[in-house]
Amino acid sequence: MEAAFMTQTILAWSGGKDSTASGILAKLHKLPLDGIVTVQPDPYKAEAQMIERFESFMEMPVEVIPGPMFEDFFYRVKVKGANEGGIYGWPKMYQRACSRYLKWQPQEHWQSKNPNTVMIVGIAADEKKRLVGLHKSEDISYLEQLGYTQNAARQLCMEYDLLNPIYNFSHRLGCVRCPKQSLSSLRYTRMLEPEKWQWMLENDQYSPVSFKPGYTLQELEERFCSQPLLPIPRKLVASVYQAHEADAQYTEISDEHKQVDEME
């Protein structure tokens, strides 16, 4: 009976460099790790193989916590406030309602069903403000304990070929349809995820919030159509070909990520 109440140490894995490095360190240093969970409300197809590689390296499965998808947030009806009865539409640039609904709440719900857990979170040793919050909780950071900065975490992921391929064109990870991406990142998103991009174009008209301040998605689509094709980082070539079924226009390959059109 006592074993049933033993504390489990679980990695909260986002697929990003910090949480991935936390898993690598747990394995290399034989630190406590009983399971891995993730929340994926709107993943890139290119990340699917990332999960498989991480599971193979860690020699344990990654449990995907069930929860709402991006379109559920988009069409979620507001139940209070001045806009009661209207939908949320695109996430606002400087609010985190989408993260709370799509990521934090599903994980909190999972933890409520698994109360005897300590979560390993990907907060690096040089993220002082985030560490202050961490120290007020029961969560732990192996990166902090072993003195790994954000840059050191990235290098560790690269050493074991476990750096998320999305870093090839974006400095941050997140939902495919997130409007908080830079314009260069959105151009790659348009290329990698044509089906979701089409969904974005078709549903943009229903959002009470502009996709980006001063820009509708249709205006960005017209802008992107008038620009030259982007070079494809080698690690994303297969994903691009799969997305476009060998469309001849997507055959340009580049080892270098070309920064383009970084206007916010």
**Whether residue 190 sits in one domain with residue 130:** no
Q: pTM of the predicted model, to two decimals?
A: 0.85
User: Is residue 73 in some structural domain?
Assistant: no
Residues 137 and 33 occupy one common structural domain: yes
Q: Are residues 140 and 247 in the same domain?
A: no
Q: What confidence tens digit (pLDDT) does each residue in 38-94 have?
A: 999 999 988 888 899 999 999 999 999 999 999 999 999 999 888 889 999 999 988
pLDDT band, very low/low/confident/very high, at 256 (cuts 50, 70, 90): very low
Report residue 174 as tokens: 């997140």
Residues 156 and 246 in one domain: no
The residue with tokens 């732990």 is 140
Alpha-carbon gap, residue 157 to 241, rounded angstroms: 25
* The pLDDT of residue 244: 57
pLDDT of 164 above 80: yes
- Position 259 confidence tier, pLDDT thresholds 50, 70, 90: very low
DSSP 3-state assignment of 227? coil
In whole angstroms, give the CA distance from residue 127 to residue 227: 37
Residue 229 and residue 192 in one domain = yes
pLDDT score, position 237: 64
Residue with tokens 């070929």: 161
Question: For residue 94, what pLDDT is reported?
Answer: 81
CA 78 from chain centre, in angstroms, equals 25
Instruction: Indicate if the pLDDT at residue 219 is higher than 70.
Output: yes
As for how many domains the chain has, the answer is 2
Q: What is the CATH number of the domain that holds 38?
A: 3.40.50.620
Q: Is residue 8 pLDDT above 60, yes or no?
A: yes
Using pLDDT thresholds of 50, 70 and 90, give the confidence band for residue 243: low
User: How many DSSP H helices and E strands does the chain contain?
Assistant: 12, 6
Higher pLDDT, 182 or 252: 182
pLDDT of residue 204: 95
Would you place residue 247 in the very low, low, confident or very high pLDDT band (cuts 50, 70, 90)?
A: low
